[in-house]
Amino acid sequence: MIEIVHALPDRGVTGVIADFIPLCTLRVDTALMEEGSRTVDRMLMTCDLKRNLHRQSLPETSAYSEADWPECASLLHESFISKAEPLLYNKLHSIDQTRLTLRQYRQANYGDIQPQWAREIKSHDELQGLALGTLISADVGFIFQVAVKRCCQGRGLGSKLVDTLLSEFEKSGMQEVQLGVTVDDRAYGFYAGLGFEDKRSVRVYFWEA
């Protein structure tokens, strides 16, 4: 699978994504690199819910509260602002864009949603982490975003959030859950440790206008 992202911020376009089905041998790397593109290798990962549910004995998660969405936007923005490739996360690199992304998520622009597929962990009324899921087909869920506050990382909260989201997907009749992650991001090892397996590699080509 080949994914192309072209950023044209001055024209109000944040990205163009295209999939190619080659009918002959293509030297895509050479052609696109000559045009000044850069590449990031990502992986579509999958988890079979019938055989791979972890049960974490950590603080309980809860379904999201409408009142928490401003705090959720701040947490997502904080988590992704330091990512190495800003064009991959341009929807989360400004607080306004992050709020818009969350609003679009709530409007099911990224796939069907249910309230129980948006999980959060709080301590003393302070948001510590969240996980957002969507439905991409009749029996396949998708993990849209996972974020844990920096000062709370390393305590197993991310594992608990993913575990609970998988459980909620299973209760909703899902057979499989997928997600996308950059291969050299530490999140790749995190998801592999939770039982996710490689499904398909995705090379992302992007260049600035």
Q: What angle do CA 201, 86, 157 make, to 5 degrees?
A: 75
Q: Report CA 19 to chain centroid distance, whole Å.
A: 19
What pLDDT score does 196 carry? Answer: 95
What pLDDT score does 159 carry? Answer: 92
State residue 23 phi and psi, 5-degree precision.
-100, 0
What pLDDT score does 95 carry? Answer: 87
Q: What is the largest CA-CA distance in the chain?
A: 59
Q: Residue 63: which of 147, 130, 157 has the closest Cα? A: 130
Residue 159: enclosing H or E segment and its boundaries? helix 157-171
Q: What angle do CA 64, 84, 102 make, to 5 degrees?
A: 25
Q: Report CA 11 to chain centroid distance, whole Å.
A: 26
Residue 72: enclosing H or E segment and its boundaries? helix 69-80
Domain ranges across the chain = 44-200
One digit per residue, the tens of pLDDT, for the chain of length 209 reads 444 444 444 444 444 444 455 555 556 666 666 666 677 888 999 998 876 555 555 556 777 667 788 888 999 888 877 765 655 666 777 888 888 888 888 888 888 888 889 999 988 888 999 999 999 888 999 999 999 998 888 989 999 999 999 999 999 999 999 999 989 888 999 999 999 999 999 887 776 65
Q: Report CA 122 to chain centroid distance, whole Å.
A: 21
What pLDDT score does 16 carry? Answer: 43
State residue 2 phi and psi, 5-degree precision.
-120, 130
56 and 163 Cβ atoms separated by less than 8 Å: yes
State residue 133 phi and psi, 5-degree precision.
-125, 155
**Would you say domain 44-200 falls under CATH 3.60.20.10?**
no
